[in-house]
Copies of this chain bind each other. A is one copy, B any other.
């Protein structure tokens, strides 16, 4: 089921600027037991993105109503919210009075390996653009090509590096690595999506006096990690159990993070 500006529709205007230019943002949210537990955080990120792109903010009320309608049947799943800059004539320049269009849909929860993920290294790189880094905008061709590599290699996920070979994230997860008890996650000032679950983990670490640095991470440092944990808002925290053919053991820090977040109500992690 899809909603376009709140109305059930499987169609959208062929002049939509999301289609023509990737001129918009999206959120992929976990639907659990008929509601979206992290809705407020998703909407806050969406609004922050609208501010960066100069996109009209439709308001939490309208978006919340879309989510409610899609969530009605209850159960588990994913709700995806898109905001585009609506219709545009030809040409990159947005109209100064451009509104926005909401496209929302509900999808089944993807399957996930039971124990952890077998992960490879994508040859597709992430371009660096400080102005767009962190945003979950609609220009995701790099992730598409990375995901095509993952599918064709038969991996569960693929690590993506930037043009300098620095580790940034996986195609649909952020990542944390642990070495000698020290937790790190790649800094996202040049590229990457600043995930809602990544932010939750960082906040939990700060509150729990468990040091976690946002850092430049080289491929060799990733390979040398004792633990690697992938995060997103759909599945929570998932350990990497194999990196490019080398076994990685799920370890105590990943378990600590999962338990810590679960105690704070993120009970559907990895469910």
Contacts and interface: CB of A to CB of B under 8 A. Distances in A.
A141 B53 contact: yes
A94 interface: yes
Contact of A23 (B80, B129, B144): B144
Interface string A106-128: 01001000000000000011111
Nearest to A25: B141
Contacts of A138: 19-22, 139, 141
Taken together, the copies of this chain in the complex come to 2
A12 interface: yes
B103 A91 contact: no
Interface residues of A, number: 66
Interface stretch (A2-10, A59-67, A258-266): A2-10
Given A93-B147, A110-B91, A130 B139 contact: no
A91 B28 CA distance: 10
B148 A94 contact: yes
Given A94-B144, A127-B127, A4 B10 contact: no
Specify which of A12, A17, A127 lies most central, judged by the most chain B CB atoms within 10 Å of its CB: A127
A107 B89 contact: yes
A145 interface: yes
Interface string A50-62: 0001100000000
A157 B20 CA distance: 20
Nearest to A77: B90
A151 B93 contact: yes
Contacts of A22: 21-22, 138-141
Interface of A: 2, 4, 9-23, 26, 28, 53-54, 78, 80, 82, 84-85, 89-94, 96, 103, 105, 107, 110, 124-132, 137-148, 150-152, 163, 171-172, 190-191
**7 A-B pairs with the lowest CB-CB distances in the bound complex, closest first:** A127-B129, A139-B139, A127-B127, A92-B147, A22-B22, A93-B147, A11-B11
